[in-house]
Amino acid sequence: MKYFYGLFSSLFLLLILIVIGVGNMPDSAVPTRSNPGLVNAQAQQPSATFTPFLPAYPTGTATSTTQPSITAPIAEPPTLTPAELQATVTPTTQPSTPAPATEQPTAAVISPTTTSTLPSEIIHETILPAEQFKERPLIPVLVPDQLSPNNDKMELPLESATPFLPSIPTSTPTATPQPTATPTPTLAPEQWKEWPVMPAGVSERLKEVYRQGLENGNNPAAFSILGDCQSQPEVFLGVYDRDPDFVGTLSSHLRETVTQFSGSFNRYSPTVKDGTTEGALLWPLWNENREGKCNPNESPLDCELRVHQPVIAFIHIGTHWEARNEHYLTIIIDTLLANGTVPVLVTKADNREFDERINRTLVKLAAQYDLPLWNFWASVQHLPNHGLRYGQNMYLSAEGVEIHRVAALDVLDFVWRELE
């Protein structure tokens, strides 16, 4: 223990002597430029941070660059000429030297805070009339992925090596107005109550069906009715064949239509019968064959098309509805079209099914097949009890019967003239 105490005391005294000796060193021992040996020794040690020499930029576009500070050994700076010294103190942002006219940039670099520097004449040229919109150059759109890593510039890739350079016109171009077709607005089948009373028109496809029917032997002076008790000649169209005086009161074009279809208004037809339904028209046992012109086991519809050969047929059934109404209507429409007969669908005034699904189905099929629709329901809504007899919401009132008869001739006249 005494040995260690003595050793510690000796080391402490030695440390004190060293400190006192350093403090009493002469000034000549401090390293200065007059002492080259000390300078050379000091030059081998790392020292302070400084900005190294930057040579002058060559002639051309200069890029603003912030030079990082680095740590390096102290060295004597080289001797600079006045021109080099001026280059080192000149701001690093130099005015760009314009590129030769033959050089094309591969990408345009713009700053998000700057505005376009295009001449106003070129800017105005790119604003083309609306009808030349497709001829305008594509304007590049900046997206975040096109930002450079430091987010200070954005590069816009050009579509080709040669950017679009619009020519400057000598005069303001005048746009030539082009005629545009105005489409006829149509209503959805669900809006059938808003459909007009008269058909909107006859499609080209139906006109072709009509012409094909004539080539196959259909009678251009014959039309047919597929209906129930509301379509019997006594209460519907028979008057146009029976009463010439009444026909004389009509307008000239309606008289022409009556003459054209004379003999089709007041006749027996196997497709008109009290209580007729869609399915009954396809059922041979429903065919009474009063005139003996129908073949055995021939349905009322097939017999009518073979014997009368109509070019137009009114589908005026639905009061006596049934569950498979739409299915049977589809078969009837397809049969008429295959025969070259143009179908005209007719809505009904009553609602014996309580949910108006029959009329909705008729309008749906008219839209699906692009067929003429006579919206008879809409033509009697202004009448008392909507054109039906009180207490018998199936039969038409006297006012309803009159509208029914007059409107039917109007529709026949319209469709026939459209087909012609």
- CATH of residue 263's domain is 3.40.50.1110
Q: How far is CA 350 from CA 36, 137, 191, 319, 323, in A?
A: 124, 62, 17, 7, 17
Domain that holds residue 342: 191-419
Mean pLDDT: which of 45-49, 118-122, 124-128, 195-199 is highest? 195-199
Please report which confidence band the pLDDT of residue 320 belongs to, taking 50, 70 and 90 as the band edges. confident
Among 174-188, 250-264, 337-351, 392-406, the range scoring the smallest mean pLDDT is 174-188
What region, left, alpha or beta, does residue 304 occupy, with left being phi > 0 and alpha being psi -120 to 50 degrees? Answer: alpha
Quick one: 267 exposed, middle or buried, by C-beta within 10 A (0-12, 13-18, 19+)? middle
**310, 226 Cβ separation under 8 angstroms:** no
The confidence band for 26, taking pLDDT boundaries of 50, 70 and 90, is low
For residue 212, what pLDDT is reported? 97
Per-residue pLDDT band for 178 (boundaries 50, 70, 90) equals very low
Residue 186 included in any domain: no
> Count of domains in the chain?
1
**Has residue 63 been placed in a domain?**
no
Instruction: Confirm whether 184 is domain-assigned.
Output: no
**What is the average pLDDT score of the chain?**
74
Which residues touch 47 (CB under 8 Å, ≥6 apart)? 73, 74
Report d(CA 303, CA 341) in Å as an integer: 14
Q: Is 161 domain-assigned?
A: no
Q: Is the pLDDT of residue 210 over 60?
A: yes
What is the spatial distance between Cα 326 and Cα 219, in angstroms, rounded to a whole number? 28
Q: What is the pTM of this model?
A: 0.58
What 301-304 contacts at long range (C-beta under 8 Å, 24+ apart), as own/partner pairs, is 301/226, 301/271, 301/332, 301/335, 302/335, 303/270, 304/224, 304/226, 304/269, 304/270, 304/271
State the pLDDT at residue 290.
96
Asked whether residue 71 is assigned to any structural domain, the reply reads no
Range 93-117 average pLDDT = 43
Please give the average per-residue pLDDT across 254-272, as a whole number. Answer: 98
More confident residue, 390 or 87: 390
pLDDT of residue 48: 45
Count CA atoms closer than 13 A to 117's CA, side-chain side. Answer: 6
DSSP 8-class letter at 172:
-
pLDDT of residue 79: 52
pLDDT of residue 11: 77
- Give the torsion through C-alpha atoms of 342, 412, 196, 368, to 10 deg: 0
Confidence (pLDDT) at 119: 42
User: Is the confidence at residue 418, as pLDDT, over 50?
Assistant: yes
DSSP category for residue 147: B
- What is the separation of C-alpha 193 from the centre of its chain, rounded to a whole number of angstroms? 28
Q: Answer whether residue 32 is part of any domain.
A: no
Of 93-97, 110-114, 228-232, where does mean pLDDT reach its minimum?
Answer: 110-114
Model pLDDT, residue 232: 97
Name the band, by pLDDT with cuts 50, 70 and 90, for residue 263.
very high
Helix H or strand E segment including 248: helix 244-248
- Supply the DSSP symbol for 107: E
Confidence of residue 147 (pLDDT cuts 50, 70, 90): very low
What's the mean pLDDT in 286-298? Answer: 97
171: left (phi over 0), alpha (psi -120 to 50) or beta: beta
> Which of the pair, 288 or 103, is modelled with greater confidence?
288
Res. 291: pLDDT tops 50:
yes
Q: Would 83 be classed as within a structural domain?
A: no
240, 258 contact by CB (below 8 A) = yes
Residue 211: per-residue pLDDT: 98
Q: Which residue has the higher pLDDT, 123 or 250?
A: 250
Residue 300 sits at φ, ψ, to 5 deg, of -55, -40
Residue 127 pLDDT exceeds 70: no
Q: Does residue 28 sit within a domain?
A: no
Binned at pLDDT 50, 70 and 90, residue 189 comes out as confident
For the cut 50, the answer to whether the pLDDT of residue 85 exceeds it is no
Structure tokens at 82: 């006045």
The residues, any chain, with a CB within 8 Å of residue 136's CB and separated by 6 or more, are 126, 128
pLDDT of residue 413: 98
pLDDT for 9-25, tens place per residue?
777 777 777 766 655 55
Looking at the chain, the whole-number percentage of residues with pLDDT higher than 90 is 52
